[in-house]
Amino acid sequence: MYDEKNELSTKLLLNLAYILPNKLEYLNLELGINNTSNDLEEFLKNSKHIFIRKLLFRINILIGDILPCIKEHIMKERRVEYIAIEGYYNSNYLYNYKKDLFTMTDELREFESYNIKVKKYNYLYIKAHELIDKIY
């Protein structure tokens, strides 16, 4: 069951670029462990035509595993206005702990040098019930 779910998730991610409009206000991608940086890189290559105002990633792998891909295809091409990434960080190879890109000072400065605002994941995350309450 778990492998089928991840396979479906990968297929969805890889085909998403072909159905999204050229401009998005918000995209939140929650990627599982089998959604490797290779899958993400393929998605980002196929979605070069898309500008996303607020792009969020929640991953259950190390942030460092996807940062090179994000920098190459998002940061350097200035395809977003805001970005947030929540994942894990390895400290002295002893344990992994939850980490937000916003707290990684050197990375934050690098993104900001490309006029991309790095925010905390929970700050940009839209809760459906709050959005519905706001609309109605």
| CB-CB contact of 48 with 74 (8 Å) | no
Total domain count for the chain? 1
pLDDT in tens, 21-39: 999 999 998 877 555 668 8
pLDDT on residue 93: 57
- Taking the C-alpha atoms of residue 60 and residue 2, their distance in angstroms, rounded to an integer, is 15
Which range marks the domain in which residue 50 is found? 2-135
b vs e for 5-33, b when ≥16 Cβ sit within 10 Å of the residue's Cβ?
Answer: ebeebbeebeeebeeeeeeeeebeeebbe
Please compute Rg for the chain using Cα positions.
Answer: 15
Is the pLDDT at 56 greater than 90, yes or no? yes
Picking from 68, 66, 109, the residue whose alpha carbon sits closest to that of residue 85 is: 66
Q: Output the pTM of the full model.
A: 0.83
